[in-house]
Amino acid sequence: MTINVEALPGEPIIIATFEEPMDYHQDAPWMFQRFIELRDTDLDGYSRYYTIIDTNGVRAGFSDIVATLGESKAAREKRRADRPVTLALVGSGALMDLASKAMGQSQYGGYGMRLYTSLDAALDAIRAELADITAIES
């Protein structure tokens, strides 16, 4: 696999890092399945979780984006109402902007997806949100 997917220890965050060479038709379904596996095992005990897809290591074309969006719709069928997910995309350029906006459309799963230019920026935003949630719940 050319996608590394890992849950961060002690945090409800999963990071998928894309690397070349990518076969989006093979790798994207595996990535979404791995998200679900980690959600149901490593992230047990959290009421919500976050996934970050870091595409800074690849040059995706339009057809690659469409293939990945199609897989996000298939993954939607395995959503759990009791475990909401927030998605973040790390990348830049018009295609990544298009992908982040498309994920909010019902035909691609109806997920909201935030776009960041770096993994650090995505992690900072998510951790700030988690701190706010923790403060409210306390």
- What domains lie within the chain, and their CATH numbers? 3-137 (3.30.750.24)
Section 46-68 average pLDDT: 92
Work out the average pLDDT over 72-99: 87
Cβ atoms 33, 3 nearer than 8 A: no
Q: Which SS3 state, helix, strand or coil, does residue 52 take?
A: strand
Per-residue pLDDT for 72 more than 90? no
- List for the chain the helix, strand, coil content (%; round to 5): 45, 20, 35
Going by pLDDT thresholds of 50, 70 and 90, the confidence category of residue 86 is very high
| Structure confidence at residue 45 (pLDDT) | 82
pLDDT of 3 reads 95
For residues 32 and 30, give the distance between their C-alpha atoms in angstroms, rounded to a whole number: 6
In this structure, of 32-36, 98-102, 110-114, the range with the lowest mean pLDDT score is 110-114
